[in-house]
Amino acid sequence: MYDPAPTLREALERVAVEPVGLVAARFHTTVAEVTVALVSRVGGPSRTVCLGGGVWQNSRLATQTTAALQTAGFHAYLGARVPVNDGGISYGQAVVAAAQLARR
């Protein structure tokens, strides 16, 4: 697991003395690195990673994390036709409901 408290504490301390853009960039880099570390730790034979959730709407974070995962040997996927946020959840629910109705 990952404890975000030290990362957040450092960001709050640095934002008082550094440009906020630099602090944000460092935070995004940390999130990307932690994502790769956690995915690597979970392991398993699959090298496929599907990223979902509203956090991946941040293009810098999504691009940086996808690149880091690819460098680590993973195949990273983001939603292209279906949104990665709550809209995607609704779509998934509709797909499941349609499949259940089709079985009846």
Residue among 40, 75, 77 at smallest CA distance from 62: 77
Tell me whether residue 94 is exposed, middle or buried, using C-beta atoms within 10 angstroms of its C-beta: 0 to 12, 13 to 18, 19 or more.
exposed
pLDDT-wise least confident of 6-10, 21-25, 46-50, 52-56? 52-56
Taking a C-beta distance cutoff of 8 angstroms, is the pair 54, 79 a contact?
A: no
Q: Give pLDDT, residue 83.
A: 79
Segment 29-65, tens digit of pLDDT: 999 999 999 999 987 788 999 888 888 989 999 999 9
Query: What is the number of structural domains in the chain?
Result: 1
pLDDT tens digits along 67-77: 999 999 999 99
Give the model's pLDDT for residue 12.
95
What pLDDT is recorded for position 85? 80
Domain extent, residue 70, equals 5-103
pLDDT bracket for residue 82 (50, 70, 90): confident
- pTM above threshold 0.85: no
Give me the chain's average pLDDT, please.
Answer: 91
